[in-house]
Amino acid sequence: MLRCLPADVSESVWPEFKDQLAQETGELKMGKPEKFDNFIGPVIHERSWEKLVRVIKDAKKDPSVTLLAGANTSREVGWFVKPTIFQVQDPSHSLMKNEFFGPILSVYVFPDSNYEETLSLVDSSTNFGLTGAVFAKDQSAIEAAEQHLRHSAGNFYINCKSSGALVSHQPFGGSRASGTNDKATSTNLVARFASIRSIKEGFQLADEVMYPSNEV
């Protein structure tokens, strides 16, 4: 399960997935965004860079957190943060709860037998509710995630990455601290800019106030 930045991975697939994830992340090219062969550009400004540096430094000092990839930062030619992956032992760790708006992925590995419990944990462990995804082959696992996380992600993806929503094609928006769950590009959003009321007009006088359902 992917919650935009935190990820929960079952222990049966974790060993192989971990190696591939670390390898792919290490091969990502970082640099100026105007060069299209670069996959990662700089973060938006110095304040964001400093916040991410603090998060990385604190995580590296935490004995319950394992660094799997990245953690390199530089501001010589821009506010660059190398894509970073941490594995946490505690699913309630701040790395799993907070939104950092930077290339930091936190992973919690859960026992396969605790799938439903982990879904409930995902639903209750964060104040945000914008995007989320589940990657699974078992249809029952997909349906369980869809039901448990119905209020956790305004945009929910099944076997698709949880970013890159197509503007004007996919209504986008989340609830909780992520917003009011009004969907940008959706016709339903128009209601936010109008005062909606319903009007009923009668064209003949009523002889009585009783409804047929009141008659015995």
Better-scored residue on pLDDT, 170 or 137:
137
- Burial of 127: CB neighbours in 10 Å, binned 0-12, 13-18, 19+: exposed
On whether residue 198 sits in a domain, the answer given is no
Stretch among 11-15, 139-143, 165-169, 182-186 having the lowest mean pLDDT: 165-169
Q: Considering its fold, how many domains does the chain have in total?
A: 1
On whether residue 67 sits in a domain, the answer given is yes
On whether residue 181 sits in a domain, the answer given is yes
On whether residue 109 sits in a domain, the answer given is yes
pTM for this predicted structure: 0.82
For residue range 143-176, what is the model confidence (pLDDT) as tens digits?
999 999 988 888 999 999 888 777 777 888 888 8
On whether residue 200 sits in a domain, the answer given is no
- Burial of 14: CB neighbours in 10 Å, binned 0-12, 13-18, 19+: middle
Q: How confident is the model at residue 4 (pLDDT cuts 50, 70, 90)?
A: low
On whether residue 133 sits in a domain, the answer given is yes
For position 128, which CATH number holds?
3.40.309.10
Q: Which domain holds residue 130?
A: 5-192
